[in-house]
Amino acid sequence: MRVVSTPDTGDANDTGAADSTNDGSVTAGAGGSGRPLAPPVVLDELAARYATWLALPAPATVDVSDEDPEQVRAMPVVLRVERSDPPARSELLAAAASAVLAVCLDPRAEPGGEWHEAVDTWVRGRIRKVSRRARGAQWAAVHDLPGVTVTHGGAQARALLPGRVVDAPRAVSKLQISGTDLPADELGPVPTDRPVLWLNPTVPMTVGKAAAQVGHATMILAALLHASGEHAALADWNAAGLPCAVRPADEDTWARLHPGATPERAWRKHRVAAVRDAGFTEVAPGTVTVLAAWP
């Protein structure tokens, strides 16, 4: 896995090495970001409301009556999907999941950092993510915008700094949102050395929708690790480049892992967290889309 924090001037090859580029960014392979991890205080709000969100009545998850449409914020998640050589679905989702969290854990998102206000304001809201696909020159153009690119196997995804949707740069707003999908790919054994993000077996999602959901899953994992005092585990994960695996769950696995009405206990005893979607697109309000299992 390779993580690039940018604007980036490097290439897109996964070298597996960690080194600084000439723009001051850090490219990370097995060595992660190359920087010590500070407490991710921008995720404290997410941890604080995790259980409350899961307990809300389904209609309440999609209620936006308190929002000013001009102030709606989202994180653009750009998926590289070349027409001639599309990536494997599972690898692209894993890259997206790692990229979203990498923005939140970037040193610039810490208090006093140049990204802090943007990330903190976004996390205190509804934490929307909008997945878009890019290829060729479109993909190159988004690297002029602040964000983090992750390469996982043959797939690349770039999470950009969140901001008001109405202020989205042209390089982002012109990218297609709807219809982004890839076929299921052949999957190897479930890894045991990284978090596994299990997709709901009864809820079909396009790869764009699933990318947003798994990105939220890694954010929740990091928030709960920090809130429960597992700072070393979070630091080690960050140093490794935030690797994860994405798998479609079967019904037995889903039933076994689902936290039900006791999410705090499920995390404390089994290290499982749930992603519950507001239901703005593709799925019904209040649907649990992903179960994230910490190794």
Q: At 141, is the pLDDT very low, low, confident or very high (cuts 50, 70, 90)?
A: very high
**H/E stretch holding 137:** helix 136-141
pLDDT for residue 236 is more than 90: yes
Tokens in use for 241?
């480049």
* Closest residue by Cα to residue 85 from 156, 144, 25: 156
pLDDT digits (tens, 9 = 90+) for 173-204: 999 987 778 999 999 999 999 999 999 999 99
The three-state secondary structure class of 185 is: coil
Q: Where are the domains of the chain?
A: 2-8+40-62+73-181+189-293
- For domain 2-8+40-62+73-181+189-293, is the CATH number 3.40.630.30? no
How far is C-alpha 294 from the chain's CA centre?
A: 15
What pairs with residue 246 in β-bridges? 197
Per-residue pLDDT at 39: 67
Average confidence score pLDDT of the chain: 90
Q: For residues 212-231, give the mean pLDDT.
A: 98
- Please provide residue 257's backbone torsions phi and psi, each rounded to the nearest 5 degrees: -90, -20
Cα end-to-end span (Å), the chain? 18
Token pair belonging to 72: 């709606």
- pTM of the complete model: 0.90
